Chain A
Amino acid sequence: MIVDVQKVTKWFGDEPARTYALRDVSFDVDFGEMLYIVGPSGSGKTTLLSVISGILRPNAGSVIVDGKDIWTLDSDALADFRLHEVGFVFQDYHLFPRLTVVENIAVPLILRRVDWDDSLQKARTVLGVVGLEDKADLPPQKLSGGEQQRVAIARAIVAEPDLLILDEPTASLDGDTGKKILAFVKSNILNERRAIIVVTHDERIYEYASRIVHMEDGRVTDHTGVG
């Protein structure tokens, strides 16, 4: 098991205007698994993703990743945890428009103090994995949405994290491209030493999930095994 979420509760604001985003959420994720967290807008999916990835501190409960209770760590250790253990693919990609594709991919390595040239070399290798070798020196805005998504995925895996987090990966893509991306992730990125958590409400890509956690009003309402 790579992720173990136990009774996580998160609220925003003070009484009496307190809003509960998560209530007693518990589930786990195994290595080699592609877990989907699905639900309508406002169900707490993104909040849960932030809590699991060490960005948003829960008010109660624990999150154990790779055997570490991450919310017992201080802020610098949490930053190190995110840098070394987690790869992020943000909904809006958040690529640096004025860096080249390969430089964008190298960012996590640069933050890990890997030498600049070594980082770019490794980034070029990973760019090959996502099939964009010929776009290495372009700025990301010259790429299509699907290609930008692949660059974001390459950036997320370049430091070889155990846990990959994809936030609404198809939100900015058309149906076909979205499906192709998820098929690619499942066949090329997922392996037995890695787990992937995908937050989505796009039913068209459910077929690629290993398991689906349904959420509503901050609660887990159902677990569905897909295959």
Chain B
Amino acid sequence: MNGRLRLALKLLLSDRGKFATLVIGITFSVFLMMLMTSMFFGIIQHSAANIINVGAKMWVMDPDVQTPQNAIPMPDYVLDAVRSIPGVEYAMPLYVGSGLVHLNNGSYQAATVVGLDDATLFGRPNLIQGKIVDIYRNDGFIVVDDGNYAKLDSPKIGTTFEINDHRGVITGIARVSIGGLFGLPTLYTTYTRATQDLPSTRYLTSFILVQPKSDGDVGPIEGAVKKLGYLAVTDQQFVQRNDRFYEFQTALGTNILIMTLISFIVGLSIAGETFYMFVLDNLERFGALKAIGAKGGELVQMIFFQSLVVGFLGFGLGVLLSSALIAFGKFRIPNYAAVITYQNLLLALGMVLVISVFSAYLGIRKVIRIDPFSVFRG
């Protein structure tokens, strides 16, 4: 390592009290920022669970639908109209609703029910137990083994229950990549049975799942569906639409943003003030270095290095701490909605860099102005 930077590091590490305060301040700030943003990304991801788990390339819905949880049913003719659009390879109906499950132990539990197209079962989950054909039994249901599985009393193959006073039997147990947001267990069945067993409005189709013939057909299909008075979006667009809803149309995004900003300001204040105090305490020494022959640029480099060391160390510890807490949370609560993505890592890193640069700037302003003549004044 460059000798001047090593000297800077020694000066930084030797003032243990301030060094610890700086690292703890930034760690705490990163911890809070990571936790807040991880919760946000986790909630967003879980809220999009149906879109991700079903895995259709395109979704057709009522234009007022913002999330997969709040479908506005469409009349049956829309499915036929979509199937007739050039560029559509196939299109299947999907039912998403909720029902009240009466368990054998006498208790009731609300559940999300997904009705798959009877002919193709397009969008079905991966079974870990049971045979998919058994879903065609006149009372067959597949249960998803996620964080909410235990709420249905951890049913096995053959476990019976009642849903809206209709008999149901577990014929398969499945895994999905992401659990739902609202803490409800998920049951899959056929479209026909779902629409028969669950109370519904005049129209039944929640979504139409579309497979375009090619990527080039996506645009024309969107245009054709729009002419029908409905909305066609790709799965990514639907995820973004869902994200925007939670970010801007609920208090969730705003509150998380406020908490993240507060965490950032806390880190900025602690690190900025402590680093400034550190520079003030060492001002005489920086003056002596200047008198001996250190150039202004070299001192700036040393101070930047010190603030970046503290910043990266705090970032690393903060990420470690938040990861540990999230891992513990997921261990204790399987459906714990927090996820660390590269976006929130980058966001926290960016904010730490701002904190480091700001802290260094406060110190540099002071050091650049110090007159080495003052060293002679004693």
Binding site for B on A (CB under 8 A): 46, 49-50, 53, 55-56, 75-76, 79-84, 86, 88, 90-92, 94, 96, 98-99, 103, 107-108, 110-116, 119, 167-168, 171
Contact = CB atoms under 8 A, between A and B. Distances in A.
A103 B14 CA distance: 13
Nearest to B16: A98
Contacts of A46: 376-377
Contact of A84 (B3, B284, B293, B376): B293
Given A55-B373, A107-B7, A168 B378 contact: yes
B56 to A, nearest CB: 62
Contact of A116 (B6, B284, B285, B297): B6
B41 to A, nearest CB: 42
Contact of B295 (A76, A114, A115): A76
Nearest to B377: A46
16 contacts: A46-B377, A55-B291, A55-B373, A55-B376, A56-B373, A76-B295, A79-B293, A79-B294, A82-B291, A82-B293, A91-B376, A96-B285, A107-B289, A108-B293, A167-B376, A167-B378
Interface residues of B, number: 30
B275 to A, nearest CB: 17
Nearest to B10: A99
Nearest to A109: B3
Contact of A92 (B289, B298, B373, B378): B378
- Tell me which of B290, B293, B294 has the highest count of chain A C-beta atoms within 10 A of its own C-beta: B293
B261 interface: no
Contacts of A99: 7, 10-11, 14
B296 A111 contact: no
Interface string B294-307: 11111000000000
B14 A111 contact: no
Contact of B285 (A53, A84, A94): A94
Contact of A98 (B14, B289, B295, B296): B14
B79 interface: no
Interface of B: 1-4, 6-7, 10-11, 14-15, 284-285, 287-298, 372-373, 375-378
Nearest to B285: A96
A56 B374 CA distance: 10
A179 B297 CA distance: 40
Contacts of A112: 293
A108 B292 contact: yes
A167 B4 CA distance: 26
Contacts of B11: 96, 98-99
B378 A111 contact: no
A135 B376 CA distance: 26
Nearest to A86: B293
Given A82-B293, A119-B3, 7 more contacts: A56-B373, A80-B295, A82-B292, A84-B293, A90-B291, A96-B285, A108-B293
A177 to B, nearest CB: 18
Nearest to A92: B378
Contact of A110 (B7, B296, B373): B7
Contacts of B289: 107, 111
A218 to B, nearest CB: 16
A111 B288 contact: no
A115 B3 contact: yes
Nearest to B290: A79
A88 B291 contact: yes
B17 to A, nearest CB: 12
Nearest to A93: B288
B28 to A, nearest CB: 25
Closest 3 CB pairs of A and B: A83-B293, A98-B14, A94-B288
A182 B293 CA distance: 25
B376 A75 contact: no
Contacts of A168: 378
A50 B373 contact: yes
Contacts of B3: 110-111, 113-116, 119
Given A83-B293, A111-B293, A49 B298 contact: no
Contacts of B294: 79, 83, 111
A112 B295 CA distance: 11
A111 B291 contact: no
Contacts of B15: 98
